[in-house]
Amino acid sequence: QVQLVESGGGLVQAGGSLRLSCAYSGVIRGRSVLGWYRQAPGKQREQVATITNGGSTNYADSVKGRFTISRDNAKNTVYLQMNSLKLEDTSVYYCAVVGLGSVYWGQGTQVTVSS
């Protein structure tokens, strides 16, 4: 059983930075992908960034150049560094492990960007 706990959310002014952390536990197989997703009120959950076991990353167009996903396997933690935050980045951010035929979600952490 995989468990994930997000942290690092909060209130930040536009243009500021924030780093989210996701501590995971349990066995994660090599094929699994770690990712960050977000869901704002009234909107569908969207993929923000993913990272494979080999370190390959993908980003949503809306965050390219501003966000960076990384992982520290020794600490069982995945990070999302968010820079140049915009009002539209306001959302609940979720960490997930996407495996073969299964998805594990964290409970989410709120990120609010103010003007």
Question: For residue range 58-111, what is the model confidence (pLDDT) as tens digits?
Answer: 999 999 999 999 999 899 999 999 999 999 999 999 999 998 888 999 999 999
Average pLDDT, the chain: 95
45: CB partners within 8 A, 6+ apart: 37, 38, 39, 94
- Model confidence at 11: pLDDT above 90: yes
Residue 115 C-alpha from the chain's centroid = 23
Structure tokens at 52: 């494979």
- Does the structure show a pLDDT above 90 at 26? no
With b for 16 or more beta-carbon neighbours within 10 A and e for fewer, the 73-103 pattern comes to eeeebbbbebeebeeebbbbbbbbbbbeeee
**pLDDT at residue 115, as a whole number:** 94
CB atoms inside a 10 Å sphere around CB 21: 17
